[in-house]
């Protein structure tokens, strides 16, 4: 039987930061159906992989409900030349992993990414386990597997335990049982959404003009036009204490009357304003609305 190559289903390639078994890997397989995953050593590499066409999309963690924002991500987004096309919330089940011969009584150190270590302080203190910073979660699991030392453990996912042949010494060791990480899906082209669709998020990056009360005046347009702002982050530019860039998530489409008026007012008080994403709000948010 002749198979038309054009009829073959394209396999979606997803890049992420971390090794196989990382939470970004887990988010990729949860959000996308049977993706071809492309692990990368850094967030920059994950972004560049999409820009060069070696992956269709990147999935990047931006916030954690316990730890806060993921360092460096927000400063990378504007320069990435990619667009946010979706958000995904992953409940994070952190496991204490060890070698086959280890137990909670033998393990004295736990290696993981600093973000994960910060989410398990209570567990580590109760079990008298010393936290040790690693490059990433799955990479830490791989290292512990290679060293095969019963006194050393790793904090990582269940999928990492399976991939690297480690034993789950205890699951759900995170301090906050509702521990969740928000991921953003990034692509070369923006998603086209009509403004009639409900529950849309618009992500914006801007720099305010150097005039008194510029930020206060810029933000005023959202209040007067009844536009709900669900996220506001600031960070320094180029190592300067004077140049500040802001990352904002608002509810609504840019062409909605109220949102358009708010953006017009914001534009007046900025040196630079870019819309870097218009996408559907995740249903995960409904449980808090």
- Tell which residue, 152, 59, 81, has the closest CA to residue 112: 152
- In angstroms, the Cα distances linking 264 to 105, 153, 256 are 61, 53, 12
Question: Distance between CA atoms of 269 and 265, rounded to whole angstroms?
Answer: 7
Checking DSSP bridges between strand 57-64 and strand 180-187, what pairing results, if any?
Answer: antiparallel
Among residues 192, 207, 206, 208, which one has the least CA distance to residue 255? 192
CB 275 within 8 A of CB 267: no
For residue 126, give every residue at least 6 positions away whose Cβ sits within 8 Å of its Cβ, in sequence order, or none: none
183 is catalytic: yes
Verify whether residue 29 is a known catalytic residue: no
CB 178 within 8 A of CB 228: no
DSSP state of 187: E
**Whether the Cβ atoms of residue 233 and residue 76 lie closer than 8 Å to each other:** no
Q: For residue 170, give the H/E element and its range.
A: strand 167-170
DSSP-based three-state secondary structure for 275 = strand
Set 31, 32, 43, 183: catalytic member: 183
Catalytic site residue from 137, 181, 202, 270: 181
Q: Specify which residues 39 forms β-bridges with.
A: 16
Catalytic residue ranges: 181, 183
């Amino acid at each position: 039987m002749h198979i038309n190559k054009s009829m073959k289903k394209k396999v979606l390639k997803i890049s992420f930061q971390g090794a196989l078994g990382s939470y970004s890997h887990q988010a990729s397989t949860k959000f996308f159906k049977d993706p071809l995953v492309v692990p990368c050593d850094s967030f920059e590499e994950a972004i560049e992989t999409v820009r060069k066409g070696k992956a269709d999309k990147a999935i990047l963690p931006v916030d954690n409900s316990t730890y806060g924002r993921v360092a460096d991500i927000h400063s990378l987004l504007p320069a990435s030349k990619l667009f946010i096309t979706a958000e995904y919330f992953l409940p994070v089940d952190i496991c204490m992993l060890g070698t086959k011969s280890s137990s909670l009584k033998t393990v004295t150190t736990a290696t993981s990414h600093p973000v994960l270590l910060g989410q398990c302080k209570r567990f580590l203190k109760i079990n008298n386990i010393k936290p040790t910073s690693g490059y990433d979660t799955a990479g830490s699991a791989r290292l512990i597997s290679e060293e095969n030392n019963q006194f050393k453990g790793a904090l990582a996912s269940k999928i990492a335990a399976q991939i690297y042949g480690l034993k789950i010494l205890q699951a759900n060791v995170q301090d906050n049982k509702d521990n969740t990480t928000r991921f953003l899906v990034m692509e070369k082209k923006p998603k086209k959404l009509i403004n009639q669709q409900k529950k849309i998020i618009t992500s914006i990056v801007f720099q305010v003009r150097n005039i008194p009360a510029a930020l206060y005046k810029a933000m005023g347009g959202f209040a007067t036009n009844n536009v709900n702002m669900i996220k506001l982050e600031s960070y320094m530019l180029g190592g300067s204490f004077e140049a500040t860039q802001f990352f904002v998530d608002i509810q609504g489409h840019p062409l909605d009357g109220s949102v358009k008026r708010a953006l017009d007012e914001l534009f007046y008080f900025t040196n630079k304003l870019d819309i870097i994403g218009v996408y559907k709000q995740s249903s995960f948010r409904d449980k808090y609305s």
